Structure 1
């Protein structure tokens, strides 16, 4: 089967290397332009924090660039496919391959193999780098580009309700019964009226309930402060109400997100939107496999017919339509209209069939 798809090792290497380097060039071009535009729009906010300078701008670039690479890698593969296939067709190299007895699938086989490698690399890149940079960027933005803990698992500015009382934690770290809180504010309310405000620099879960250290209370009626010191509160407040109250799937790895979904499901929370994002962590990188199929319109058909440009435009339209449908499907999954599996996988399977149909139809 492998020999059938790659009858010529030299030809496969030539087409595969050409495709890979052009994808890399397109990705570099896209990321460079988009990073410059993004930096121009955000540099003012980064420098607005006292003490920030060139080092913080470079830090912003180092955190944003992995996100741009992950997001626009499929676009780069699509553009690389179009440039590669259009050039091969214009130089009559596709005609030579078909004259030598290669089928349409054999012509595209090197591109599919390179796309599979790119998809696997994209998944690993997302797991190892993008998830961490996204979590750190979110925490940095929440701190208005000021100092934040280096722990990427730290969450910021979480609100939890305890009966009528409202609890705000400025920073949350740890999981399970080892959750610790910092910059805590408790709004003590009775009959929808604010009675007092309790503030503490730190607290931890002692099960059941939470223990605050160096707490102070402000009496709203009297307008006076008093020092409480160590106190207990929130016997019915669980640690997962803080740690799972704002789960960002983009900032979690595949395994961590699966654990968060399991914990949320056990707590009786809705997880449909997170399950869609969970499966999209696989189907998203696999979209690179579709690009050679969707771009195959530009490869077949005689260049001298004068329709090569039209074929390239059609291939680009198919590729961009996939991204539109994919985002629409994910949005429908977030709203609960589509089941998570369908929201994540339906666009991929649909355009896989579309690509195969277009390939077979336009081969001659």
Structure 2
């Protein structure tokens, strides 16, 4: 007789969730530790090359990068952890015992889906509170060649801006309101497409009248006269406002969902493209929800007779489905960023597609 309850056994549900959580966490810890060591090996030389940096800076880098790696690879870990749990359940004939007791495939998966929903909620909160802050800090620090970065809020790095015939690059932009400043600025003057001057500026701040910027540490190369001029102070960038630098580098990974919403409205008010930011906004929701798909895509490893000798094959299929989702998700997000796909479709398309694929595979496996 088939049991029609959504979760017919509390004890069985806790047992399945325990297997799911412990295996996924074990994979996550192992994966993040290996990736962190490889990342640190690649960056430690650059960090220690800066005068004054030492072991505390290495530990600071690790503390900033660990949350980013954990958040990025949590869905991968859930996929692999679920596959490990399902393969063991299949080999020990526990899935057969559950089905013999009248449970359907969906009832067996139900506790894992509920647990994945809670994990998705926790991942969303973690992304919006910890990951965006760490991403903003570590990006600014690495773009500044691991030299000390001022602690002001709103730090941005590697910002490009076009002002008429001028192309402006700021290695660091920070501060808010009247305290906004630029550091390590390069201004390329290209009238009619010809590069005439390159001006490098150590620091730039808005003038008191708010119409131009005041420079310090100015070095100008004139390509027409082939000479270099240096000055302690200068001025320029007339009509350029601090808000233009802020809107020039709207990074969804470095902004929480509320700040990103404000920047999207500012972009649209300024008549600038907002497709990339909108795709990133939607992906802040669908990214954590990908954890909900992983048990469904990995379920192909749970069903079928272990004596058939195809457990490894089914586990490989489940892994291939999971990795195919991540490839499709990255590709679709890139298309949304480029404006080829509508932002909502770029974020939700792969999720809905693989939800249908997972359901189809599950139903056929049960049959």
Is 1:53 the counterpart of 2:54 in the alignment?
yes
Aligned twin of 1:66: 67
Name the structure 1 match of 2:101.
100
What does residue 315 of structure 2 align with? 312
Aligned to 2:45: 44
Q: Which moved more, 1:155-164 or 1:44-53?
A: 155-164
SS of the equivalent of 2:149 reads coil
The verdict on how the C-alpha distance between 1:209 and 1:331 changes in structure 2, with shifts beyond 3 A counting, is: same
Which position in structure 2 is the counterpart of 1:348?
351
TM-score by length of 1: 0.89
What do residues 165-203 of structure 1 show as CA deviations (whole Å, max 9, x unaligned)?
Answer: 455545322456764444566677878675795857441
CA–CA distance in 2 between the matches of 1:259 and 1:17?
A: 40
Match for residue 328 of structure 1? Answer: 331
Contact kept in structure 1, 2:152 and 2:175, CA below 8 Å:
no
Deviations 1:290-319 (A, max 9, x none): 011111111111112222111111111111
What's the RMSD between the two structures over aligned residues?
2.7
Task: Could you tell me which runs of 5 or more consecutive residues in structure 1 were left unpaired when the two chains were aligned.
Answer: none
Alpha-carbon distance in structure 1 between the residues aligned to 2:366 and 2:228:
81
User: What is the CA-CA distance between 1:41 and the residue it aligns to?
Assistant: 1.7
In the TM superposition, residue 206 of structure 1 has moved relative to its aligned partner by 5.2
**TM-score when normalising by structure 2:** 0.88
Contact 1:140-1:147 at 8 Å conserved across structures: yes
The aligned residue for residue 299 of structure 1 is 302
Q: Which residue of structure 1 lines up, in the alignment, with residue 13 of structure 2? A: 12
Compared with structure 1, are the counterparts of its residues 180 and 20 closer, same or farther at alpha carbon in structure 2 (3 Å cutoff)? same
1:203: which partner in 2? Answer: 205
264, 267, 292: which is aligned to 2:267?
264
**Deviations along 1:328-364, whole A, 9 cap, x unmatched?**
1112222222111111110000000111111111014
In the aligned structure 2, how far is the partner of 1:151 from the partner of 1:73?
Answer: 30
Runs of 4+, deviation exceeding 2 Å: 156-202, 204-208, 210-229, 233-236
Cα distance per residue 1:12-56 (max 9 Å; x no partner): 111111111111111011111111111112221111112222111
- With 302-311 and 344-353 compared, the bigger mean Cα shift is at 302-311
CA distance in 1, matches of 2:121, 2:92: 31
Shift of 1:204: 2.4
Q: Is contact 2:153–2:175 with CA below 8 Å preserved after alignment?
A: no
Whole-Å separation in 2 of the counterparts to 1:311 and 1:214: 65
Shift in CA distance, 175/266, structure 1 to aligned 2, threshold 3 Å:
farther
SS in 1 for 2:205: strand
Q: 2 CA distance for matches of 1:185 and 1:337? A: 32
8 Å contact kept, 1:209–1:236: yes
Matching residue of 1:88: 89
Does the C-alpha gap of structure 1 residues 363 and 342 become closer, same or farther in structure 2, counting only changes over 3 Å? Answer: same
- Please say if residues 177 and 239 of structure 1, whose CA atoms lie closer than 8 Å, have aligned partners that are also in contact: no
- Give the secondary-structure state (helix, strand or coil) at the position aligned to 2:5: helix
SS of structure 2 residue aligned to 1:269? coil
